[in-house]
Amino acid sequence: MRWTEQKVKRLIELKSKGLTNHHIAIKLKTSENSVKMKLSKIAKKGKIKLREHIFDDNFSFENVNKETVIKGLFIWWCEGSSYIPTQTHRVEVVNSDPRIIIIFINFLRKIKINENKLRLRLKCSKEDEDKLKNFWSNFLNVPKERFLKSTLVENYKGKRLEYGIITIRYNSKKLVLEFQRRIDEMNKNIIV
């Protein structure tokens, strides 16, 4: 598609109304990638402002005490997603114990992750979903808008986890690599 002046104006108008790139692409009869690229160019010229720093991947271990770092890394190592070089692009921790989850999320906050990229997924029974989403949102001080679609399950043999199972997800290959580097460094000092 050729971006005429009229189409660019329409693109800016649709984006300022809050439409997603997907819906803009449908309205303009073009690809989502084309919309994304054109918006990026327009934003660089200062004609529009896109969501601020959602892809910002800055974090810092400075001024975080060693004990906090070790706790956070060990929770990720034991309860999180395994690092697979060609596949892992996010930090993820899954657990049902609020104590484990709060320690990990506080660790992420202390290293100053971009909280706009933080996502949560709840696994629970349908009848508990609203109550547990409210619990986790309040307990972790994370808006409900950051929750992905819940995984709803039947009660396993009549047992019910009091808090469901929560997944903390942070998309950042850079952070995964830093976590793995630090775990590998700690492993060098462990005598088996």
- HEC sequence for the chain: CCCCHHHHHHHHHHHHCCCCHHHHHHHHCCCHHHHHHHHHHHHHCCCCCCCCCCCCCCCCCCCCCHHHHHHHHHHHHHHECCCCCCCCCEEEEEECCHHHHHHHHHHHHHCCCCHHHEEEEEEECHHHHHHHHHHHHHHHCCCHHHECCCEECCCECCECCCCCEEEEEEECHHHHHHHHHHHHHHHHCCCC
pLDDT tens-digit readout, 88-100: 688 999 999 999 9
- The per-residue pLDDT of the chain, averaged, comes to 87
State the pLDDT at residue 35. 86
pLDDT tens-digit readout, 9-41: 898 888 887 788 888 889 889 988 888 888 888
**pLDDT > 50? residue 110:** yes
pLDDT tens-digit readout, 112-151: 998 888 999 999 998 999 999 999 999 999 999 999 999 9
**pLDDT > 50? residue 53:** no
Q: What percent of the chain has pLDDT over 90?
A: 47
**pLDDT > 60? residue 86:** yes
pTM recorded for the entire structure: 0.70
